Structures are given as C-alpha cells and as structure tokens.
C-alpha cells in the first residue's frame, strides 16, 4: 500500500510499504477514506520529537471503512464507517476507567522509553514517534487499529460527509477539552493562543460552553479572520502590539482573561531578543521548547484563573514563570486529549447542528501529495489552515 | 511499574562513580597516551607516552577493583595515593616544559576536587564494620486493575515467570490496592552479581539481567490480565522488551506476521 513516511527532518515521502495485518485479537484493519495533517505532525516533521525513525508512517487523524476485524472485536463489522481516536486505549486499566484514555497504562509497548523521559509512560498514539509506541499512522491506504472495540466510533449516517466528522479523531475534542478545562462560568473571557485548527475549535468550544467573550491571538491575519467569521471570537494580532499581556489586560478592563488556552506548543514564534534566546537554546538542544505562548498565557491570566495547555510540549523548558503560577494562585490543566471521552457527545453536537467542524479545511489533496501538504502547512503558504488527504 | 534499588550495601554512588571515572581515564591513557601527554602539558616524546600508559594501567586496575569488590576500602585509598603521584608527576612536567605550564596547572586543578572525593569516600569505607555488605535489594511493584484472586490465579498460571522468580529466590507479595484500584503485585529479591557492579552493568547491556526482564514480564503480565493480550506495535512487534527499545524497526507493517 501507499503511505506517507517520515524520511528525516523536513522530509516526508509517499512510499510503498507492506499492508497491515491483524497482530492482536482486538485489532481491526481500516481502509482510510480521509486523513488530516495535524499541527503536532509538524513537530515530528521539523525534527523536534525524539525517537523518530526513517520510514515511520505518519498520521493520527483519520477515518475510514472497517475491512477486517480480529476475533475479539464484537462491536464492529466489516463495512462499518468509523472515526478513530488518536490515543490507543485498552479500556480496562485504572487510567481508562477514569476516562483518561490518553494515559492508558497498557498500550505503549515502548513504555520504558517514555517512563525515562516523563516519569510515567502514556498511551500509544498512531504515527507519533517511538516514544508513544511506534505504531504505524493513518496517512496511508490502510491502518491497523489496536483495541478497535474501545476507540473507534461508528458513523451510521452516510449523508454526513467525511470532513464533518473527521476531526472527532483529534483537533475538535482537543480544542473542546482545552475549553472544558477552563471551567467556564457566565461572563468569562477566554484568551486563546494560536488560531490553528485546535485554537479554532477551542474558540468554538468556549462559546459552546458559555463563554461571554473569546480573544484569539495569532500573527496570521487569514487565520484570525477564519476564527472571527466562524466562531465570533475577537482577534489580536500579536505583531501589532508591544506586549500581549498588557493588550489583554486593556481589553478586559484591567482584570485579565479568566482562563487562557495555549494552542501553540513548543515551536512558538515571537519577536525580539527573547525569541533569539530560546531559538538558539532550542537549536543547540539545550531546551526542547520555545515556550513564548505558554509564558504569555501564564503572565496574562487573571489571579486565580486557569491556564489550559493543549499545545504539545516534549521535554524541558527554560524560564518557566513559576512565581506567577504560585503567588497568583493559577491552576494549570493539560494533557493529550482523552478523545474517547468526547467523541460521542461531540458527534451529538454535530448532528444537532451546533457546529460543523469542516470549516477549518482549506486544502484537499490526494495521499500522494502529502509532501506538498506538509510544506504548505508548515510554511503557512496559500492561506493553509488544515490539509485533508484522500488516499 | 515501580523499581526500587534499596541501598543495602557499603559501596555508595560516589564509590561507583570513582570506579567508572578510573576506568574511563585509564582507558584513555592506555589507548591515546600521546594525546593525553599533550593535554597535561608534556611533549609526548621520549619515555612520556610509556609512563602515561603505566599510569593508565594503574587507573584501570583501581577502577575495575572498585567496581568488582563489595567493600573496596584499600582500592579507594590507593586512588588517594595515585592522586598524590599524579600531582607530583604534573609538577615534573611543569618544570620540564616551562612554556606549557598553564596546561599542567589546569590538569592539577582538575585532580584536586577528585582527590577530595577520594579521601572522603576512603574515610567513609574505612568506617564500615562487620562483614562487607554486598548485592542490591531490588523491589518491583505493579498495580493490576483486577481483584486479588484473579491476579493470584493468573500468577499461578504464569509458569515461566514463576520459575524465573523462584530461581532468583524472590519473595512475591499480593495486596489489595486502596480504593478499589485492583491488586498490587510486588516482587522482591537480592541481586548479588559475582563481578559486582561491573557484572550488573554487563548483564544490563546484554538485556540478561533480572531487573530488566522482570520489568518487561510484569508489564506483559499486567497487559494479559487487564486486556487479554500482549500489546504489539509495528516498531515493537514482540511487545514490551527493553532490550529492543534502542534498535527498533520503523513504524511500518511487518512483511509477514510472526
């Protein structure tokens, strides 16, 4: 079959690889009908996530048709149309019982690697480095889905197009969880760093959860325009202001946002000497992150507020403003999204017409165009916000 | 998975570090004597490289002995003597090569903090009494989200694992986790490698050491009890095996299923 493989820093190639087969009884094989490139795929593409190997199949946002099921899978049949959540979860361990699926204790066969870096291992993730298990990803014609009886959600209504439900696999629930963690109360103002797909969904979700105002911060006008048009959020181009925390204070009558969501992660951009400092440290591998968005989110949040971190971080950061967190009583909430927890309720919101997540799609391509898709998305060329690949 | 290496012996982390330091320095002196001569400000000509090699042989012998012996008091004191010898040799080097005294001085300045550590550790080991304490007590614990009788039953059926644990003379303990969180399984034993720390590391590098094997086995047992299978990925098709972690295949489907 054809699959988009990581072939080194800034390099993706569509290669011929063996077809997947059932390895465990609770596996299913899915023929991929739609798959998307995620912002976190760019961290792999850019070479900032360790333990990638040449030839790793990428992709953790995908959906398709079940073509084979293992003997122990009873809830799915051949022909079912499914969306697959990006974390692989067993459904039986203590973490899964708490609905914390991305923390599943059993699905990472490289648990020791992750344990060394992070203290405890986390769940396996499709196409997302060997640290999270070394599972082949979904930017391919076919994919093996372990624990198919736990994760995938069936889409019975054939009239719903792929693009409307595809993002249930990651970015919609991730944005939603980011907003849910803000414990939004009537009148709340939520600030969101990053108008990429997760930021777009965080903004939409914050309104769904009752926020009064949402302010999205980015530097790309086309992305700010999309979030304003489709969610009603206010926008702030950080290149137009000296200091984002001051601008946010001013926009909120001096109070600061009630909660801040970081939808940027480890490759943030910025201007001035601070950017140069982190850029150099990151290039020399003295720190793994360029955490401007997170620092700003912490410094902007009102006293006693919540900072919700959905942007991906890998290891260690420098100049973490712990004094602000402690003295101002901030709450930090974070995590890879527990997608399985949100798929059903969010599918409900889609079918009830509360949201159509397909508004983020700007580019549709064949799988063979994946290298172009990665480059457009990385360089933000051609007003690219979300690339959907059709194998 | 919790692993505790309970401190139950005379030799502490500092002694082991000094041992490894000796081995590394000695190896460098043996293999590249000329470069080492130049590093400390000597010319690297005449008898100097031969002397450097002899010094290296001494370092290597001290290092290996510290790693192998359960209570290497004499060997750490011998390092103290070696430090004195090194500093005086550096004095000779400085006297003979007046143009490169800075290098000799820097080398001597590097010996001093090591000498302080040597004296500290030698005195610490000299203060130990009774027969030398050797071996490491190792304790591994894992929580399995099933009732105790289910876990005990699965344990009794895991013949291979039980044999391994019995051979090591390990104690196995089951206890109910608090708040309905399943069953805690604890395996505890004393690892006493014949070649001391050197032997433990050699075994670890080959994946043949019991702590590593137990870590893999207990993870797999937990997976089997909780999910009914050992989880396999494309990069780790045999499931969790620490020995395979560093040399993985790419995350692509296998040609044929094993």
Average pLDDT over residues A213-228: 98
Same domain, A147 and A260: no
Same domain, B146 and B208: yes
Band of residue A264 on the pLDDT scale cut at 50, 70, 90: very high
Residue B1 in domain: no
* Among candidate residues B93, B126, B159, the one where a domain is terminated: B126
Q: Which tens digit of pLDDT belongs to each residue from B51-110? A: 999 999 999 999 999 988 888 999 999 999 999 999 999 999 999 888 888 999 999 999
Query: pTM for this one?
Result: 0.87
- Residue among B182, B245, B252 minimizing CB distance to A110: B245
Same domain, A85 and A19: yes
The shortest C-alpha distance from A137 to chain B (Å) reads 8
Same domain, A327 and A365: no
- Residue among B181, B223, B242 minimizing CB distance to A112: B242
pLDDT at A272 over 90: no
pLDDT at A53 over 80: yes
Task: Calculate the average pLDDT of chain A.
Answer: 96
pLDDT at B120 over 90: yes
The shortest C-alpha distance from A111 to chain B (Å) reads 7
Q: What percent of chain B has pLDDT over 90?
A: 63
Give the integer Cα–Cα distance in Å for A261 and A334: 10
Same domain, A181 and A281: yes
Question: Please, which residues bridge with residue A6 across strands?
Answer: A12
A105 contacts in chain B (CB < 8 Å): 222, 226
**Contact across the interface for B257 and A23, Cβ inside 8 Å:** yes
Band of residue A164 on the pLDDT scale cut at 50, 70, 90: very high
**Cβ neighbour number for residue A337 with a 10 Å cutoff:** 24
**Cβ neighbour number for residue B200 with a 10 Å cutoff:** 19
B255 contacts in chain A (CB < 8 Å): 18
B5 against B25, higher pLDDT: B25
- How many domains does chain A contain in total? 2
Question: Which pLDDT value is given to residue B182?
Answer: 96
Taking CA atoms, A120 is separated from A86, A112, A113, A115, B160, in Å, by: 19, 8, 9, 4, 27
Judge whether B219 is closer than 8 Å to chain A, CB to CB: yes
Contacts of A306 (CB under 8 A, 6+ apart): A181, A182, A183, A258, A259, A260, A330, A331, A332, A333
Residue B187 in domain: yes
Question: Which pLDDT value is given to residue A380?
Answer: 95
Judge whether B123 is closer than 8 Å to chain A, CB to CB: no
pLDDT at B258 over 70: no
The shortest C-alpha distance from B205 to chain A (Å) reads 15
The shortest C-alpha distance from A18 to chain B (Å) reads 6
Same domain, B48 and B80: yes
Domain span at residue B154?
136-244
Tell me the pairing of strands A387-390 and A363-366: parallel
Tell me the pairing of strands A213-218 and A234-237: parallel
Question: Which pLDDT value is given to residue B7?
Answer: 57
Closest listed residue to residue A336, CA positions, set A165, A152, A95, A147 = A95
Q: Which tens digit of pLDDT belongs to each residue from B192-213? A: 777 777 877 887 777 678 888 8
**Contact across the interface for B231 and A106, Cβ inside 8 Å:** yes
Q: Which tens digit of pLDDT belongs to each residue from B22-44? A: 999 999 999 999 999 999 988 88
Average pLDDT over residues B166-184: 93
Band of residue A300 on the pLDDT scale cut at 50, 70, 90: very high
Question: Which pLDDT value is given to residue A277?
Answer: 86
Distance of CA A333 to the CA centre of its chain: 15
Same domain, A186 and A322: yes
**Cβ neighbour number for residue A145 with a 10 Å cutoff:** 29
Give the integer Cα–Cα distance in Å for B211 and B194: 16
Band of residue B6 on the pLDDT scale cut at 50, 70, 90: low
Least confident of B10-14, B22-26, B167-171, B247-251: B10-14
Average pLDDT over residues B5-24: 83
Question: Which pLDDT value is given to residue B134?
Answer: 73
Question: Which pLDDT value is given to residue A134?
Answer: 96
Same domain, B38 and B99: yes
Give the integer Cα–Cα distance in Å for A381 and A319: 32
What one-character-per-residue DSSP string does B169-194 give?
T-EEEEEEPGGG--EEEEEEEEE--T
Give the integer Cα–Cα distance in Å for A103 and A341: 12
pLDDT at B8 over 70: no
Band of residue B10 on the pLDDT scale cut at 50, 70, 90: confident
The two tokens of residue B245 are 């972690």
Compare all CA atoms of chain A with the CA of B236 and give the residue at the minimum distance.
A109
Same domain, B172 and B80: no
Same domain, A309 and A356: no
Same domain, A158 and A14: yes
B211 against A212, higher pLDDT: A212
Judge whether B257 is closer than 8 Å to chain A, CB to CB: yes
Same domain, B187 and B99: no
What one-character-per-residue DSSP string does B208-250 give?
--HHHHHHHHHHHHHHHHHHSS----SS-TT---GGGSSSPPP
Domain span at residue A318?
172-334
Same domain, B55 and B144: no
Same domain, B120 and B150: no
Alpha helices, DSSP H, located in chain A = 39-45, 94-97, 111-118, 162-165, 171-180, 197-208, 221-231, 244-251, 273-283, 292-300, 322-327, 339-351, 370-379
Average pLDDT over residues B176-204: 86
């Amino acid at each position: 079959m054809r699959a988009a493989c990581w072939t080194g820093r800034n390099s993706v190639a569509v290669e011929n690889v063996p077809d997947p087969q059932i390895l465990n009884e609770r596996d299913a094989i899915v023929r991929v009908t739609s798959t998307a490139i995620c912002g976190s795929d760019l961290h792999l593409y850019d070479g900032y996530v360790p333990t990638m190997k040449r030839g790793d199949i990428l992709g953790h946002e995908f959906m398709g048709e079940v073509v084979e099921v293992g003997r122990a899978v009873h809830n799915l049949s051949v022909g079912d149309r499914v969306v697959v959540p990006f974390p692989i979860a067993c459904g039986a361990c203590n973490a899964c019982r708490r609905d914390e699926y991305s923390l599943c204790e059993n699905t990472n066969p490289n648990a020791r690697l992750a344990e060394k870096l992070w203290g405890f291992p986390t769940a396996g993730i499709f196409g997302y480095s060997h640290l999270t298990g070394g599972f082949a990803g979904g930017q391919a014609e076919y994919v093996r889905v372990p624990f198919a009886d736990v994760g995938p959600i069936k889409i019975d209504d054939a009239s719903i197009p792929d693009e409307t439900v595809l993002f249930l696999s990651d970015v919609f629930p991730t944005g939603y969880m980011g907003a849910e963690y803000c414990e939004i109360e009537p009148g709340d103002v939520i600030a969101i760093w990053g108008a990429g797909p997760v930021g777009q969904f965080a903004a939409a979700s914050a309104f769904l959860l009752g926020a009064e105002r949402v302010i999205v911060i980015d530097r790309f006008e086309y992305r700010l325009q999309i979030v304003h048009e489709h969610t009603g959020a206010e926008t702030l181009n950080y290149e137009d202001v000296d200091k984002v925390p001051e601008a946010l204070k001013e926009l909120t009558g001096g109070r600061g946002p009630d909660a801040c969501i970081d939808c940027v992660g480890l490759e943030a951009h910025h201007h001035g000497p601070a950017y140069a400092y982190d850029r150099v440290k990151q290039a020399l591998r003295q720190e793994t992150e360029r955490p401007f968005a997170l620092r700003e989110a912490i410094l902007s949040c009102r006293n006693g507020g919540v900072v919700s971190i959905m942007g991906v971080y890998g290891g260690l950061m420098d100049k973490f403003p712990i004094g602000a967190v402690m003295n101002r009583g901030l709450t930090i909430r974070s995590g890879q999204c527990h997608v399985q927890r949100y798929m059903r309720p969010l599918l409900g919101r889609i079918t009830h017409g509360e949201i159509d997540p397909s508004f983020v799609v700007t580019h549709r391509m064949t799988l063979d165009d994946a290298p172009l898709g990665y480059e457009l998305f990385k360089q933000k060329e051609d007003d690219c916000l979300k690339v959907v690949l059709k194998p | 998975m919790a692993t505790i290496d309970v401190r139950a012996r005379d030799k502490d982390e500092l002694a082991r570090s000094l041992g490894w330091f000796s081995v590394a320095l000695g190896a460098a002196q043996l293999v590249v004597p000329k470069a080492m001569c130049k590093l400390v400000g000597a010319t690297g000509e005449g008898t100097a490289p031969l002397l450097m090699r002899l010094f290296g042989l001494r370092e290597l012998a001290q290092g290996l002995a510290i790693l192998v012996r359960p209570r290497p008091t004499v060997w750490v004191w011998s390092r103290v003597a070696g430090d004195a010898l090194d500093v005086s040799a550096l004095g000779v080097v400085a006297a003979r090569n007046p143009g490169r005294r800075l290098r000799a001085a820097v080398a001597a300045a590097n010996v001093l903090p090591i000498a302080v550590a040597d004296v500290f550790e030698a005195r610490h080991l000299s203060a130990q009494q009774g027969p030398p304490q050797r071996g490491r007590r190792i304790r591994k614990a894992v929580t399995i989200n099933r009732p105790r009788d289910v876990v005990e039953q699965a344990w009794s059926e895991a013949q291979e694992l039980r044999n391994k644990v019995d051979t090591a003379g390990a104690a196995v303990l089951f206890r109910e986790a608090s708040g309905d969180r399943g069953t805690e399984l604890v395996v505890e034993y004393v690892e006493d490698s014949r070649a001391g720390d050197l032997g433990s590391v050699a075994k670890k590098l080959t994946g043949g050491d019991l702590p590593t094997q137990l870590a893999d086995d207990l993870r797999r047992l937990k997976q089997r009890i909780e999910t009914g299978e050992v989880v396999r990925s494309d990069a780790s098709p045999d499931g969790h095996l620490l020995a395979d972690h560093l040399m993985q295949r790419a995350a692509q489907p296998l040609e044929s299923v094993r």
